[in-house]
Structure formats: structure tokens, C-alpha cells
Amino acid sequence: MSEPDLSPEQSRSLHERIFNIFRTAPPTNAAPTSAPRQLAGPDKNGGSAAPYTPGETSRLLESYDSHEPACGLRGSCDHGTFSPRLERDEAWGIASLNDVGMAGPPGRDPSGDGDSTQGPENIPSMESSVSAFPMKNRKSLYISYYIPFFNWITQYRLSFLRGDLISAMTIASIYIPMALSLSSNLAHAPPINGLYSFVFNPLIYAILGSSPLLVVGPEAAGSLLTGTIVKASVSQGLSKEEDEAASALIVGIATAMAGAMILIAGLTRLGFLDNVLSRPFLRGFITAIGFVIFVDQLIPEAGLAELAKDAAVSHGTTVEKLVFFVRNISKCHGLTAAVSFTSFAIIMVFRTLKKLLQPRYPLVAYFPDRILVVIISAILTWHLGWDKQGLEILGPTKNTANGVFAFKWPFQFSHMKHVRTALSTSFIIALLGFFESSVAAKGLGNARQAGVQGMAVSANREMVALGVANVVGGCFMALPAFGGYGRSKVNASTGARSPMSSILLSLITFISIMVLLPYLYYLPKAVLSAMISVVAFSLIEECPHDLAFFIRLRGWTELTLMVLIFVSTIFYSLELGIALGIGLSILILIRHSTQPRIQILGKVAGTSDRFENAELHPEKVELVESALIVKIPEPLTFANTGDLKNRLRRLEMYGTNRAHPSLPRMRPAEHNKNLIFDVHGVTSVDGSGTQVLFEIVDEYAEQGVRVFFCRLPNRDVFRMFERSGIVDRCGGMSHFVSRVDEALRLAESEDRGLTA
């Protein structure tokens, strides 16, 4: 059959015509049709030429105009596991989204022919649909997205103020005393530095943060890690233990460094890091931190702090402190121990009662039990003169050597000695803080709220907001502050409707520093230690649930990871526990990501065009004797292609991945004369993966094995195949088809051609 006369445009090479088509987006009003598309072009005499029907290599072009789904199957996608994920710059056009449901049944060729060659001309277009949306005030939209303050402030209503104010007062009554405790007992810094974290960080987060009800502030884990930096500086002789000004400066440097790290991570779009740390690592490490904090507080709660300092146990391991406490419990200060354990018992009783009563009486959450314990203990100490009987009190909080709200730029050359000490621990503070904030933001995002709307949580924007907040806080020597789920849950449950609650919390804390702090002069430090012990208990109490869960699942790997982190932290140090946990988590992640997940497919019994995983459903499928059908259900990268050749060789010899390579060959070699790759899941491929795949195709071609590819997901993958030479080496475009059964029929026809 002779080809019709074509115009210069049509007479160009197939490659040029294909990519010329791709440069032009399909019309949005294109209607799906089952008739073959006809291309009419002028003939040499200027008249209308005969209709042009696409040839074999462009027959499926009308499926592109009919807006098929990205996998190339119309109507539905029955590819099974590991569906392809569209890349960000490969979004569907509006017409494609509207017309997917109008396509014909899966597997039907629009031209009416059963077999069709698959190439770039029939791989769906993935042009960006952004230009299809009419946008006004695009700059203001971008500003509102990256600075969410301009988003929620326009929605703010006066009716929100009551709930925001009540929630801010509730948070302040609970967590202002807690901030004092964290700073003095865990971070080994002046108590006022803990309050600074509630002045600057919530205010900045309300402007830049993407979670409207998240409340940022100091946490026990971050404060404890900051305290290890202070103690390390003391042990190295860089500062003195009694020098509060130096301790506050070190805290500010650690906070600013953690903020700078997380800010840089956000600007470089590393928000995915919140998925790197495994749940067993976090549970083991958080439980260890809770145990460390609980044991640390036993010594000041029993009035043994001076004795522990003389015995050089203050900077020892947790086990050493526990042994010291047991041996010297008879020397404890009676009044201090009575105040500590009574305060702990009262707070725990109210905590338990609130849990029991809150489902039926939600208002009990508003009861300020901790602020009452603080006020009553301060009054009793002043009235009964307990401070004269040996009970340590908070004392003056505003008369620190640095003054109130003193600004000190942390990144000075003279501070380099502290920077080197704080570098690794600040990284861990940033990582743990961001992860906890991310968990809290996601948890709050799952609940419907009655306040401001349209604020989607973004991990990268969260990093930027938390980073800026901590850099600013570090300039004022505040503790590291991140989002906490419990604190944010209280905020949401007590009526907060918008980030204004965080702004009001900052204002209340500022007023407390300027006006109320002198009235806390007689606050016993034992009460602050009791509050920290309650926090430590809350960190530990979730561990038995997770242990029981993993034991029920027989998750021995997870249990081993948890135990190793806990034991190394308790018997040696926090740093070793962190390093061990992160290292093991990364090794598990790498091991998981480097395993190829290729599958051998078999034909479902009684069908001619349905194929399933032969290893998962051996009773339903039968292996094809004339061909080895291999499905690659994931993107190919340098990580997972290293062992691809060995896995393929195992499928050739045994027909399964589960057979041990020491066994003799079980699958006859003549069954492997045709190799069909189902690459539907290979939504992307990097240079290393392409190189390995080319070597595999080239090796099979040298052996006389015919190689076919079916169901290419997008044009980027095809371009990599074309540029690397895979297309030419496997036999050209005729060996790229749209379905597995078509590849099988094509292989059988070529076999018959050779035998004939």
C-alpha cells in the first residue's frame, strides 16, 4: 500500500513529528472517539488529499487525544501493586482529568486493532495544567502561602477572640511553671530563659507557621539535650557551673544552631526528613529520655543535689545516679522530699481524674491544678519560712547577669569554642524537634476545626517557621522550642480558633516576666522538679503499649532496636543512644530501599490477557513456557538496580525469587528465549538505573533472547531508554507495546517467523 502525499510538515522524521505533537497541548474541548483519527493534508495540486490514517508506530496517537490515564489503560487501571506516581512537573491537563471517566474499556485499541506498538507518540501528555487556571493577584497568593499570617488574619473574626484568649490563659497556667522547671532543672540555665521560649517562638510561628493551632515551646527532650551541651562545656573547662550568664549564652548558641539547621533544611526543601526516623527509634529514645529525666530529678527531689556534686555524680550516667540515690536515700532532706513527692502526687491525682472525667465533663480540662500547686507552695514557703529550714527556692529571676531580654548574636567568632561543642547535639535537637512538631501538626490537621480555614500543613514551611523562631529565640538565649502534641491538643480543646492564641500566649508570658515573676521568689525548686517528673512519666507511659503491639506482631527487629537504644542511653549516654538509633534506622532504610521487587508474572488460568504475580497466586496462574514475563513495580535508581541482574538470573533459573541460588536449575533455558518487561511501575529512572538496564538488555541480545517492553508510564522514561540505546538494542519501536498479552503475541509471531 502506497503512502499518501504528505506536506513538508508531515514528511519530517517520525521523531521530529512526535515531539512536535508533544509541544502542543491537546484542545480542552476534545471529545473521545472510537473512530480512527484522520489527518487530511493538501496534495501537490493544492486540493485536499485522501485522509491519512496513522501507521503502526503512531496508531495509538488518538489515545493521547482521547486523554487516557497515565498508565495507558483506558477507563480503569488494573496494574495491581505499586501504581505509578505522577511527578510534580507532569500534572494532567484539565481536559484529561475530565475525560478519563469517558474512555472506553481497558485494553481496547482506539483504532480497533488488537495489537499496537507503544512509543512516545501514544504515551499520555503530562503538560502542566497551571496555565489552564485563570489567576488574579498571583503575588498576593504566593505571599499568603509563604507567610500564612496574611491568610488567616483576613479570616479573623471578633467571635474567635474569646476562645483564643481562654486557650492562651489555660496554656500559660500549665506551661509557664513548666518552662521555669525545664530551664532550671534540665537545661541548667536561669529559669527566665525558659519563659523567653514562650515569648518569641509562638509569636513568630503564628506569622510563619502553617498549622493554625500548633503551640510551640520548650520540650523535655530538647531541654535535656541542651543541658548536656551546658554540662559538656563545664566539663571541658569552657565555662563554670555557677556562671549563669555563660550557661545562658551556651543555651542561646545551641538554640540558634538548631534553628539555623532546620531553617536551611526548610529552604532546601528537606521536609521529607520527618519520614526517616522509624517509630521504634523514636519510642525507644523518648522512653530513654523519660527514664533519664525521672532519675535525674530524684536527686534534687530528695535534697541530695549538693551531696551528688561532691561525689562527682552530677555528670555521670543514669545508672550511676540511680545507684547513688539508692545508697544515699537515708541522707535525704526530709522537708524537700515531702514537698517534692506531695506535689508529684497531687499533680498525678489531678491528671488521672481529668482523664477519667473529661469525656463526660469537658470543662475539667480548664482546671489549673499546676498553677495552684505553684501558688500554694510559694505561699506556704513564705508563710512558714521553709526556705530558712533548708528548702531551696527559686529566688530572684530577673536579676540575672544578662538582664531581661538581652540580645546577643550567637554566631560570633568568639563563640566558636561553644559552637564546636554544641554542633552534633544541636543537630539532634533540630531533628527530634521537627519530627515532634510534624507529628503534632499532622495530628491536628486530621481534625475539623471551626476557626480559620485553608491552611494546609507543609513540612518545608514548618521547617522555615521553626527555624526562624529558634534563631530569633537563640539571640535572646531562649530554650529550643518546637511544637508539642499534648500542648497543642490542650490549645485546640480549650477553644482556640486561630494562631491568635499563640500571639496571646506570647503576650501573657511577656506580662508574666515583667510583672508576676517577683511573686515567684518563694517557689520551691522541689515543686519544679516534681513537675518535670510528671513530664518524664508521661514520656514513659506509652512505651508498654508499643512493646505489647510489637510483641503481638512478632516484630523482633523493632523490639531489638528499641531495647538497644534504651540500654545504650541508660548505661552510657544520650549521644550514643542517638547515634546508634539513627545509624540503625538508616541501615534498615537502605536495606529496604536497595532490594529489587521484581515479580514473575503468569497467565491467569482460563484467560488470554490477564496476568498475575506467579509467586503470590501460584494456584491461579500458569507460567508461560515460551517467555519470561517480569514486572518491575517501582522506579529504577542507583539504589535498587545493583542486585537487579542477580534477581533476574534467579528468575531465569528457578522461576521464583525465593529459591536458594545453591539449588540446581529448575526452569528450562528454552522457556527464556523471550523476555517481556512490564515497566508500568517504573515512573522514573536515573542514569545509573538506565545503564544497568541497558547492560541487561545488551547481554540478553548477545544471547539471542528477544526483549520486549510494555506499558511505559511516561515520556521521560522513554527518552532515557532512547538515549541510552535500549530502544535500538532490543529491536526498535516494534518491541514496545501497550499490553503484556500483545507482547506475548508479538513474541509468538516472531517465533513462528523464524521456524518458518
- The tens digit of pLDDT for each residue in 496-527 reads 889 999 999 999 999 999 888 888 889 898 99
Lowest mean pLDDT among 127-141, 517-531, 725-739: 127-141
Q: What is the DSSP letter of 709?
A: E
Look over the chain and give the mean of its residue pLDDT values, rounded to a whole number.
79
Q: Cα–Cα distance between 226 and 479 in angstroms, integer?
A: 8
Q: For the chain, give me the number of helices (H) and strands (E)?
A: 28, 9
| pLDDT value, residue 3 | 43
Answer yes or no: are the C-beta atoms of 37 and 111 closer than 8 Å: no
CA-wise closest residue to 527 among 287, 292, 346, 332: 346
Residue of 47 and 361 predicted with greater confidence:
361
Q: Cα–Cα distance between 648 and 633 in angstroms, integer?
A: 14
Q: What is the DSSP letter of 398?
A: S
- The tens digit of pLDDT for each residue in 459-500 reads 899 999 999 999 999 999 999 999 987 788 778 877 788 999
Secondary structure (H, E, C), 471-490? HHHHHCCCCCEEECHHHHHH
Question: Residue 137, SS3?
Answer: coil
Residues 6+ apart with CB under 8 A from 116: 56, 59, 60, 109, 122, 737, 738, 742
- Mean pLDDT across the stretch 637-651? 83
Return the C-alpha torsion angle 522, 528, 530, 532, nearest 10: 180
Q: Three cell numbers at 657?
A: 525469587
- The tens digit of pLDDT for each residue in 215-273 reads 999 988 899 899 999 988 888 877 777 788 889 999 999 999 999 999 999 999 888 87
CA-wise closest residue to 494 among 354, 372, 375, 374: 354
Q: Which residue has the cell 566558636?
A: 416
Residue of 439 and 250 predicted with greater confidence:
250
| pLDDT value, residue 707 | 92
> Does residue 12 carry a pLDDT above 70?
no
Answer yes or no: are the C-beta atoms of 578 and 596 closer than 8 Å: no
Q: Three cell numbers at 480?
A: 529550643
| pLDDT value, residue 83 | 39
| pLDDT value, residue 402 | 65
| pLDDT value, residue 136 | 65
- The tens digit of pLDDT for each residue in 197-212 reads 999 999 999 999 988 8
Indicate the pLDDT class of residue 36, thresholds 50, 70 and 90.
very low
* Domain ranges (residues) in the chain: 157-590, 596-754
> Does residue 725 carry a pLDDT above 70?
yes
Q: What's the burial of 372, exposed, middle or buried (CB within 10 Å: 0-12/13-18/19+)?
A: middle
Question: Residue 168, SS3?
Answer: helix
- The tens digit of pLDDT for each residue in 138-190 reads 788 888 888 999 989 989 998 889 889 988 988 888 788 889 888 988 898 88
DSSP string for 159-214: THHHHHHHHHHHHHHHHHHHHHHIIIIIS-S-THHHHHHHHSHHHHHHHH-S-TT-
Residue of 487 and 338 predicted with greater confidence:
338
- The tens digit of pLDDT for each residue in 706-722 reads 999 999 988 889 999 99
| pLDDT value, residue 335 | 94
Distance of CA 376 to the CA centre of its chain: 44
| pLDDT value, residue 516 | 84
| pLDDT value, residue 203 | 96
* Length reported for the chain: 756
> Does residue 650 carry a pLDDT above 90?
no
- Mean pLDDT across the stretch 662-669? 82
Residues 6+ apart with CB under 8 A from 261: 426, 427, 430, 467
Q: Cα–Cα distance between 290 and 539 in angstroms, integer?
A: 5
- Mean pLDDT across the stretch 545-554? 89
Residue of 7 and 298 predicted with greater confidence:
298
Q: What is the DSSP letter of 734?
A: G
Domain spanning 596-754 has what CATH number? 3.30.750.24
Q: Are strands 621-622 and 216-218 parallel, antiparallel or unpaired?
A: unpaired
> Does residue 101 carry a pLDDT above 60?
no
Residue of 16 and 104 predicted with greater confidence:
16
- The tens digit of pLDDT for each residue in 313-328 reads 877 788 888 999 999 9
| pLDDT value, residue 353 | 92
> Does residue 58 carry a pLDDT above 80?
no
Question: Residue 425, SS3?
Answer: helix
Q: How far is CA 43 from CA 6, 11, 12, 51, in A?
A: 7, 12, 16, 11
